[in-house]
Structure 1
Amino acid sequence: MSTTRALARLSRSATAASRAPVSSTLFKRGMASVVPESQTSNVAEPKLDKDAKIKKFHIYRWNPDEPTAKPRMQTYSIDLNKTGPMMLDALIRIKNEVDPTLTFRRSCREGICGSCAMNIDGVNTLACLCRIPTDTAKESRIYPLPHTYVVKDLVPDLTQFYKQYRSIKPYLQRDTPPPDGRENRQSKEERKKLDGLYECILCACCSTSCPSYWWNSEEYLGPAILMQSYRWIADSRDQKKAERQDQLNNSMSLYRCHTILNCSRTCPKGLNPALAIAEIKKSMAFT
């Protein structure tokens, strides 16, 4: 199932919101949703050159300060000749030169921090790593990560995601200090087992592309968190492997994964969360 289709099925209108902090559970937030074409508006650059290469961007908008207003799509027309090659370049230019009210997260611009994760043309990805299609005849559509509560515009609320990350205790746990009292050493072979795991930047692209996570995000940990869990289970320096496995040994935390593989297809870092989940299941079956 494509993420765009899933967005359509999972659409909800924005509901009442207050000005409380994002992490508060005392207010309701708008849910990322596909917006009807009738609920759109257009904004163009103030000045366009004769040889301008104009491309349209349809961007999801929702403002918590207008809680009764439904989400809408705003269309921005900008000149690609004056814009950098990446989607994040377009968003920054729109915010700086066209519409300062447009809201989104961003930081490193190098695919390291995971801040600018969003759904671009039906795919969960990082705006800083996603190239702008040069075909000006095709419009680009940008949404928040699917099936997440929306703080504002393209900003998803990841409170639950980070709560789940904290629950797996993502740090080295040992009962005894290293023998020489200096550091916990690994062989090259043991260290190699962590390749493809530690590179995860917690952007949530994989988890928010997973249908199992859409329906069970309160209990199912999702691909990103499970891959982080396996990163510590596989670490030869950690002495809490059994405890980590016991924490996952229930019907919801791990076994809601049905090997749909959306997570591995969409990961902007080219990682394979589905394989990590399979390795957890295998390790628990044979221990």
Structure 2
Amino acid sequence: MTAVAEQNTVNGIPAPEGSVTITVKIQRFNPEIDDAPHWESYEVPALPTDRVLNLLFNIKNYVDGTLSFRRSCAHGICGSDAMQINGINRLACKVLVKDLLAKDGKETTVTVAPIKGLPTLKDLYVDMEPFFEAYRAVKPYLITYGNEPTRERIQSAADRERFDDTTKCILCAACTSSCPVYWNDGSYFGPAAIVNAHRFIFDSRDEGSEERLDILNDAEGVWRCRTTFNCTDACPRGIQVTKAIQEVKRALLFKRV
């Protein structure tokens, strides 16, 4: 870790008082010129309260405008900026520099790479279509039959609590792309799809649970889960993903929800 308080800039990037210099090692890939991904490093000034997304913006704005990554709200809600940070799936807008600084006082290196299991389109952003295809396949919406009610569908607080955890999913793909089964076999539905199926399977207002359970009983459904807990560890919203998958398995085994 190198103090840069007396410097005005580092590699052309404004260095505010109290900032430190961090080496950001990024996996780069441009399909128009590269045969394979490669690593490039950048020296970046950062405050302890900066987020990794701030570092990426500084590199793109001041050093290399060709750097490509997704982002939107920058507040951990949209899920756009999921990537591997120091080998762990995280949202770049939620990881603080102070949590990455070396404890021994030496210069810090932060590695950033795209999430695994999905085709890399360029640098840090991937093709999300296989992920959303699995999401759509589990019918992630309320299914009812018969005539529409004349008033809202009433639900008790206890019934709502039953699936509260899985309503938090922001479809960032951090859980699915942390799954070894998904890495090796892209046809697996993946944790996020199962979480979103869970959200409706256990909704007392829904009448499509059997349809979703039949879908997830497929060879590429819940039975492919190996309970490694990678998905739970990766979820930026704290969803108990592995627990939700096990509950869907139990629903299939006992044919009741």
Determine the C-alpha separation between the residues in 2 that align with 1:241 and 1:55.
50
Q: Which residue of 1 aligns with 2:33?
A: 66
* Distance 1:151-1:217 versus aligned 2 partners, 3 A rule: same
Superposition TM-score, scaled by structure 1 size:
0.79
Q: Is the counterpart of residue 76 in structure 1 residue 42 in structure 2?
A: yes
Q: Secondary structure at the match of 1:58?
A: strand
Verify: 1:129 aligned to 2:99, yes or no. no
Give the superposition deviation at 1:145.
Answer: 0.1
Aligned match of 2:239 = 271
Alpha-carbon separation, structure 2, partners of 1:52 and 1:165: 42
Corresponding residue of 2:6: none
Residues 114 and 126 in structure 2, CA contact (< 8 A), matched pair in contact too: yes
For 1:244 and 1:283, the matched residues in 2 are separated by 11
Q: Aligned partners of 2:162 and 2:146: how far apart in 1?
A: 22
Q: Which residue of 2 aligns with 1:247?
A: 215
Give the aligned CA root-mean-square deviation in angstroms. Answer: 1.8
**Any conservation in 2 of the 1:178–1:184 contact (CA below 8 Å)?**
no
Question: How is 1:1-287 mapped onto 2 (pairs within 5 angstroms)?
Answer: 45-46=11-12, 53-68=20-35, 70-81=36-47, 85-132=50-97, 133-135=100-102, 137-179=107-149, 181-218=150-187, 220-287=188-255
* Alpha carbons 2:117, 2:182 under 8 Å: kept: no
Aligned length: 240
Deviation at 1:178, TM superposition (A): 4.8
- C-alpha contact (below 8 Å) 1:202/1:224 kept by paired residues: yes
Give secondary structure in 2 for the equivalent of 1:269: coil
Whichever residue aligns with residue 125 of structure 1, its letter is R
Taking a change above 3 Å as real, the CA distance of residues 57 and 239 of structure 1, as seen in their structure-2 partners, is: same
What's the CA shift for 1:225? Answer: 0.6
Q: Distance in 2 between the 1:48 and 1:240 partners?
A: 55
Q: Distance in 1 between matches of 2:112 and 2:125?
A: 12
Find the residue that maps to 2:222 and give its secondary structure: coil
Shift of 1:48: 7.2
How far has the Cα of 1:51 moved from its partner?
A: 7.6
1:55-77, CA deviations, whole angstroms, 9 ceiling, x for partnerless residues? 10000101011143x32111110
Q: State the distance in 2 between where 1:47 and 1:280 align.
A: 50
Gaps of 5+ in 1: 1-43
Superposition TM-score, scaled by structure 2 size: 0.88
Helix, strand or coil: the match of 1:217? coil
CA-CA distance at 1:129 after TM superposition: 0.5
Contact kept in structure 2, 1:212 and 1:257, CA below 8 Å: yes
Distance 1:51 1:201 in 2: 34
> Displacement, 1:46?
2.5
Question: Does structure 1 retain, via aligned residues, the 8 Å contact 2:13–2:62?
Answer: no
Cα-to-partner distance string for 1:75-123 (whole Å, 9 max, x where unaligned): 1101114x86100011111111111110000001111000000000010
